[in-house]
Amino acid sequence: MTRGVIAACVVLLGAVAAAQRPRPVPAANDLVELDIVALDRDNHPVTDLGQDEFRVKEEGRAVEVKTFAKVTALGSTQADDGRVVVLLMDDIGVTMSGTSPMQQIAPVVLSPFGQGDEVSVVRLSSRTDEAFGDLKTVRDRIGGYRGGVQPFSVRDTPETVLKAVTKIARQLESIDHRRKVILCLGLPSVCDVSEPALGGTSPIWRAWVEAIGSTARANVALYCVDPTGARGGLSVSGGGLAQITGGRVFAHENNFAPAAEAIWREAGHYYLLGYWPTASTHELRSIDVSVTRKGVKARARQRR
């Protein structure tokens, strides 16, 4: 590990995230708050859009945007200027031999943080790790990380991921009017869980619904960074938990700094829109967001 990365890690470990108590689940007719990242052709944030340039549909029907705010949070200690990032470390898909690389990559993907940001670490298979902690907690979790703690299971691992995401989202829910990020450092086949093909008859359907619902209520987006690098040989299908929650997958790169910069940048430049939901009997509702300005694309959650 280079001196620069070590220094970044030391500063990172000084960040303290406050524990939060989850709020009650909102009623079906509560105002829906939607965080949207607008990007140009080079995937850089576009920060000068107006309310009238957004189009939002729920269940295929247009909804009227009732509240609108441009948000810039750069991680300073000023009020409401902090970003919230939880590093979820995959210790199931990553084998024991990946322990040391994961411990070195973790400080790199978290290094863009600022003094006002809230950062925490959760190990995927741990039942006791929480989405908050002090200096010692963060240090212990990165240093105590071990790959291959549990064997990968086609049946059980997706449910483990969904339950971990739900738990983190619920712990972050009471932080109001903020975009929050779960940065899953691990294999896309583990982190980016796909929607159950069998729908409501799937044994993990309930866990899927709870993960999508909890991340929507808390405004949590999931990003995945594949630690196996350019030679990992793992395909990234897309369309899983990351895309549905408004995040993305970074893979096939040996330099993890650009992914880190992009994730933290998107956590600090976004739009917060509010609308009244449409009537629906579905467990999950579809959301479609677009921008009328040419050359600008919107990234937002696609289910709630």
Query: Distances in Å between the alpha carbon of 40 and those of 37, 67, 221, 262?
Result: 10, 23, 19, 13
Structure tokens at 128: 């006791």
* pLDDT at residue 236, rounded to an integer: 59
Classify 3-23+78-267 by CATH class. Answer: alpha beta
Query: Can you list the pairs that 129-138 forms with residues at least 24 positions away whose Cβ atoms lie under 8 Å?
Result: 130/19, 130/171, 131/17, 131/86, 131/167, 131/168, 131/171, 131/172, 132/17, 132/18, 132/19, 132/20, 132/171, 133/16, 133/17, 134/16, 135/13, 135/14, 135/16, 138/12, 138/13, 138/15
Query: Distances in Å between the alpha carbon of 218 and those of 152, 189, 214, 293?
Result: 28, 24, 6, 28
Query: Distances in Å between the alpha carbon of 232 and those of 98, 135, 155, 199?
Result: 12, 32, 23, 31
E-strand ranges in the chain read 32-39, 54-58, 61-63, 65-72, 84-89, 118-123, 180-185, 220-225, 249-250, 269-275, 287-291, 297-299
* Residue boundaries of the structural domains of the chain: 3-23+78-267, 32-75+271-299
pLDDT tens, the chain, 304 aa long: 554 544 445 444 444 343 344 444 444 468 999 999 999 999 899 999 999 999 999 999 999 999 999 999 988 888 888 899 999 999 999 999 999 999 999 999 999 988 889 999 999 999 999 998 776 888 899 999 999 999 999 989 999 999 999 999 999 998 887 789 999 999 999 999 999 988 888 999 999 999 999 999 999 999 999 999 887 655 556 679 999 999 999 999 999 999 999 999 999 999 999 999 988 888 999 999 999 999 999 999 999 9
* pLDDT at residue 14, rounded to an integer: 46
